[in-house]
């Protein structure tokens, strides 16, 4: 678990400030896509292996992840974002589902 956390921290640092071209390198995270909470306040999360806290998933890929990948282990590329919910300290906006 410690190595995973260190790897995530390094990935976040690598994403750091925008480079010379004004772009950031995407961060990659893996875990199981789950829907948590009770209707009508359900949230889509990615649960990493190893007991780490869930990532709240936001953005345009939410519907596809919910419909096609719920309960599956996936790898996502994207960027961490401020959490819109006080229930989640970690938020991720995926830009693509890595194969």
Return d(Cα 71, Cα 47) in angstroms, integer: 10
User: Collapsing DSSP states into helix, strand and coil, what is residue 76?
Assistant: strand
The confidence score (pLDDT) of residue 24 equals 74
Return d(Cα 85, Cα 34) in angstroms, integer: 17
pTM of the entire predicted model = 0.75
Tokens of 74: 């996936």
The confidence score (pLDDT) of residue 22 equals 52
The confidence score (pLDDT) of residue 20 equals 44
**Which phi and psi angles does 68 have, rounded to 5°?**
-105, -20
User: Collapsing DSSP states into helix, strand and coil, what is residue 79?
Assistant: strand
The confidence score (pLDDT) of residue 59 equals 97
Low-confidence ranges of the chain (pLDDT < 50): 1-15, 17-20
The confidence score (pLDDT) of residue 15 equals 47
């Amino acid at each position: 678990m410690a190595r995973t956390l260190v790897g995530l921290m390094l990935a976040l640092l690598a994403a750091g400030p925008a480079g010379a071209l004004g772009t950031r390198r995407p961060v990659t995270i893996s875990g199981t896509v789950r829907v948590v909470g009770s209707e009508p306040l359900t949230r889509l999360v990615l649960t990493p292996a190893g007991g780490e806290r869930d990532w709240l998933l936001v953005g345009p890929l939410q519907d596809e992840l919910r419909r096609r990948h719920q309960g599956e282990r996936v790898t996502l590329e994207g960027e961490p974002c401020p959490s819109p919910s006080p229930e989640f300290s970690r938020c991720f906006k995926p830009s693509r589902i890595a194969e």
